[in-house]
Structure 1
Amino acid sequence: MSPTLGAGATRTVGTPKIDLNSDLGEGSTMAQMARDRAILSVVSSANIACGFHAGDTETMSETVRNASEYGVTVGAHVSYYDREGFGRRELNISTAKLKSDLAYQIGALKAITTLNGTTVSYIKPHGALYNRIAYDDTQARAVVETIATIDSRLVLLTLPGSVAMQVAQELGICAIAEGFADRAYTDDGRLVPRTIPGSVITDPDEVVQRALQMARDGTVTSSDGKVLRLDARSICLHSDTDGAAALSQQIRLALEFAGITVTSFIPTC
């Protein structure tokens, strides 16, 4: 029997539906924006950088407009204020500071979506903050409490079995379990740190097969070959992974060929 990564908003076994998301708006060059647009033509949810690890008002606005054009659900990709480290450095900041930083980012994207006739539907922490709230009750609680205060209808996208998911359940916030097609897992269900070789998976066949395994079987195989119960309702492919635009298209085609519908986890939870 496979180890479980935790309960929560669990995918119903046999239901041929999955969300496909990507971290977008993290670069402003023409090539990066073209890549993001190509990915938006494929995914069902877009995690848009809110300026703290990457992005600015111009990239946020263009990504929101493109997401709206393709009917893609918009989420706020919030992070520590760490542009130099791309939000991948763990920061020990006060709860008050973290809450204020989160509110600033969510508020900014909410205003931009309103300006463009759409809305923010969910929150996905980025990088070090995402990993931190998987085990740190204090910072997980700060994230979830901020969501509850700003708009309790917002959904939290997080690692299955994380402390953040447990806190969300406690505070009545909808939490959706997420899997990563292009990231390696440890035997305890955490993401392998990016400092370790092989932590990012770029082989197209492997990435596609991992996405199919997550969507079809509700499992993921760790770096050491252990099959872990995942029950993810959303699958992420990072836009900065080599060949991300082509990979996203291959994943979607493979999922649809397998009879799995790619659709946002909004509005149901």
Structure 2
Amino acid sequence: MKTAVDINCDMGEAFGRWRIGDASDADLMAEISSANIATGFHAGDPNLIDETVRLACSHGVGIGAHPGYNDLQGFGRRKILGTASELVNDIVYQVGALREFARRHGASLQHVKPHGALYMEMAGNPELARLFVDYMRKTAPNAAIFCMGGSVTDQVAREAGHPVIREFYADRDYDDSGSIVFVRDAGRPDPAAIAKKVLRACTEGRVRTVAGNDIDIAFESICFHSDTLGAHDIVKTMRKALIEAGIRIVPASELIA
């Protein structure tokens, strides 16, 4: 039974005047404890990064960089071929941008969470994970890496002694291996069903897979996506269920061992 969890959400995922999803970042920011802020490659632009960082600061939300593949058209959910070194250089570029905006507003970098297809690629790519963790050890040794428990990213970071926050995906399904099942369109999930799933994960450490089996799941942070339809209702319902069960919502920085 967990006594405290982080709730994180991917934020600032727009570009110029173009917006996605049906919930505003301002509404969502009031309900979460950590924000993964898009850094310009899969979504986001300088003005939006600045706006989102300011919003996070005003709500006391932990600030994280959310670097992705250089793929605005595909929203970073398509794999882009490149060497591990090239991909990590893209991450360095994006994290640097977000960190400067955080510094501008008197904040620090709480975490880094790769986005979408890059997150999944790193989860199974030892070379990419090692180069990324080496970068984090040298430049942000106290900033957590957000990843799936048991992934290559998780294993490499722990071996290097780097702080890790494992995620539970509220609005995504799991397969029997413990990996999330990515879909292009998640539709409009039932907030009550998601809250029930999250509460079970927190109290029992178990989740039902798409094959109908129960598997163990270990995590410190609960993730949901701002572009999922009904995101505001999802996080409000989920948060209410957690608080009523006596589970506190805290920034990820408070959960790092």
**TM score, norm. by length of structure 1:** 0.89
Q: Secondary structure of 1:169's match?
A: helix
Q: Aligned to 2:7, which of 20, 36, 39? A: 20
| Residue-by-residue CA offset, 1:205-260 (whole Å, 9 max, x unaligned) | 21111111222222211111211111210000100000101211111111101111
Contact 2:2 2:202 (8 Å CA) reproduced:
no
Q: How far has the Cα of 1:142 moved from its partner?
A: 2.2
| Residue-by-residue CA offset, 1:41-69 (whole Å, 9 max, x unaligned) | 00000000000100011111111111111
Give the superposed CA RMSD: 1.8
4+ residue segments displaced more than 2 Å: 28-34
Aligned to 1:55: 44
Q: Aligned to 2:169, which of 180, 184, 199? A: 180
Contact 2:6 2:221 (8 Å CA) reproduced:
yes
Q: How far has the Cα of 1:29 moved from its partner?
A: 4.5
The change in CA–CA distance for 1:230 and 1:34 in structure 2 (over 3 A counts) is closer
Correspondences of 1:61-80 after superposition (within 5 Å): 61-80=50-69
Contact 2:23 2:226 (8 Å CA) reproduced:
no
Matched to 1:248, the amino acid is: V
Q: Aligned to 1:102, which of 87, 91, 113? A: 91
CA distance in 1 between partners of 2:10 and 2:182 (Å): 18
Higher alpha-carbon deviation: 109-118 or 204-213: 204-213
Q: Aligned to 1:257, which of 218, 240, 244? A: 244
Aligned to 1:81: 70
Contact 2:144 2:162 (8 Å CA) reproduced:
yes
Q: Secondary structure of 1:224's match?
A: coil
Unaligned runs of at least 5 residues, structure 1: 1-13
Q: Aligned to 1:234, which of 221, 232, 242? A: 221
Contact 2:33 2:62 (8 Å CA) reproduced:
yes
Q: Aligned to 1:130, which of 119, 138, 148? A: 119
Matched to 1:83, the amino acid is: L
Contact 1:181 1:211 (8 Å CA) reproduced:
yes
Correspondences of 1:82-231 after superposition (within 5 Å): 82-195=71-184, 202-231=189-218
Matched to 1:26, the amino acid is: E
Q: How far has the Cα of 1:109 moved from its partner?
A: 0.5
Matched to 1:68, the amino acid is: C
Matched, 1:245 2:196: no
Q: Secondary structure of 1:237's match?
A: strand
**TM score, norm. by length of structure 2:** 0.93
Percent sequence identity is 37
Higher alpha-carbon deviation: 134-143 or 62-71: 134-143
Contact 1:202 1:242 (8 Å CA) reproduced:
yes
